[in-house]
């Protein structure tokens, strides 16, 4: 089996809600994975339908992993872990569910006569190229299945690990539409290390954008979330936009921070620990709900407006969500957007 070379301590098992069989719990002898547990499960389905009411420009997604070791303080996907009887805080970062049969199940689903070869988006919930993908390599089999089916698809990630699969992406692009997007909230090292501590370097992500575009894969940049007082200053955003343009980004977009459900508590706890000077400001900004006030989003949009005319890039700010119901157990996807080649804004 593809994971037979993994380091395993014991053969623990646990029953997860929504899964028929017990999950085998694995641990890795690697510094990056210390204190993490990986639950191998067999999914009944991996194609997840996005509700019709959603604003997303796609109707189907794939999430080979649940939970994410990136540990982003603001991650909109954190509430999905509560469906597995985990918490949205530390558990989301340390208890990672791995759908080990995702490539095989996907092949079966794509071969069904009822499948209409609709666009499939990856990375809309948790990152498919988070640390553990380097061990399980599920994305290679997923891309192969999509390639063989000639199915349109796209990916959103924070990791340059996706370059490993560039040959497969090029093969898909020969048969169907394909695009990529790198999420890069900031270049500011302090803001990066404190808000998304286990993600690859933002500059490495920009290099991946450039390499993908040079190879012919239309690739954009998502500057999200924009967090007042943390990564939204002109001296933080403008250099990032400039470097994204230099990397050939086919789209540059952004989303203002939104704090839905359990994310609010996790983020506010982080704020009290790391930026107590901003607690009162955020309590005011988000006192009426999950989204920043209209005037705050307008301020961000004015700040990042860059140039005029057909060649200009403009950062579009709004909150958005997808509520996705997976047949085996619900995953919720929020805030992703498809990058489309040569469009001026991401939305």
From the list 14, 19, 37, the residue with the least C-alpha distance to 96 is 37
d(CA 292, CA 312): 26
- What pLDDT score was predicted for residue 129? 98
pLDDT, mean of residues 285-308: 78
Residue 158 has pLDDT above 90, yes or no: yes
| 3-state SS class at 108 | helix
Residue 339 has pLDDT above 70, yes or no: no
Per-residue pLDDT reduced to its tens digit, 14-67: 878 877 788 889 898 887 877 899 999 999 999 999 887 777 778 999 999 999
DSSP per position, 173-217:
HTTS-EEEEEE-----HHHHHHHSTTSPPHHHHHHHHHHHHHHT-
Q: Which two tokens stand for residue 73?
A: 């303080």
d(CA 336, CA 54): 11
| Residue 173 or 55, more confident | 173
Per-residue pLDDT reduced to its tens digit, 207-260: 999 999 999 999 999 999 999 999 999 999 999 999 999 999 999 988 899 999
Bond before 225 cis per omega within 30 degrees: yes
pTM of the model: 0.85
Q: Are strands 120-122 and 153-157 parallel, antiparallel or unpaired?
A: parallel
pLDDT, mean of residues 302-313: 48
Residue 83 has pLDDT above 70, yes or no: yes
Confidence class for position 306, pLDDT limits 50, 70, 90: low
Lowest-confidence range among 147-161, 171-185, 288-302? 288-302
């Amino acid at each position: 089996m593809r994971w037979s070379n993994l380091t395993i301590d014991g053969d623990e098992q646990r029953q997860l809600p929504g899964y028929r069989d017990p999950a085998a719990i694995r641990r890795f002898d690697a510094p990056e994975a210390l204190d993490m547990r990986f639950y191998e499960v067999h999914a009944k389905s991996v194609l997840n339908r996005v509700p019709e009411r959603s604003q997303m420009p796609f109707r189907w997604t794939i999430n080979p992993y649940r939970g994410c070791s990136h540990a982003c303080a603001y991650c909109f996907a954190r509430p999905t872990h509560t469906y597995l009887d985990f918490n949205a805080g530390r558990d989301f970062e340390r208890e990672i569910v791995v759908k080990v049969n995702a490539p095989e199940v996907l092949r079966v689903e794509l071969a069904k006569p009822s499948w209409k070869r609709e666009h499939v988006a990856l990375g809309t919930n948790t990152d498919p190229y988070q640390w553990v993908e380097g061990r399980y390599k599920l994305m290679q089999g997923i891309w192969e299945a999509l390639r063989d089916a000639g199915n349109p698809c796209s990916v959103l990630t924070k990791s340059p690990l996706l370059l490993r699969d560039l040959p497969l992406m090029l093969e898909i692009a020969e048969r169907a539409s394909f695009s990529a997007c790198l999420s890069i909230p900031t270049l500011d090292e302090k803001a990066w290390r404190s808000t998304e501590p286990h993600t690859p370097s933002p500059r490495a992500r920009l290099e991946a954008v450039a390499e993908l575009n040079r190879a012919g894969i239309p690739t954009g940049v998502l500057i999200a979330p924009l967090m007042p007082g943390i990564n939204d200053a002109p001296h933080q955003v403008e250099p990032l936009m400039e470097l994204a343009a230099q990397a050939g980004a086919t789209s540059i977009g952004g989303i203002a921070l939104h704090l839905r459900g359990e994310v609010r508590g996790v983020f506010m706890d982080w704020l009290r620990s790391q930026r107590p000077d901003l607690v009162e400001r955020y309590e005011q900004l988000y006192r009426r709900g999950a989204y920043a006030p209209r005037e705050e989003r307008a301020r961000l949009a004015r700040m990042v407006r860059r140039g005029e005319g057909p060649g200009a890039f403009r950062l579009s700010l709004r909150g958005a969500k997808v509520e996705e119901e997976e047949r085996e157990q619900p995953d919720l996807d929020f805030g992703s957007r498809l990058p489309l080649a040569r469009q001026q804004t991401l939305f």
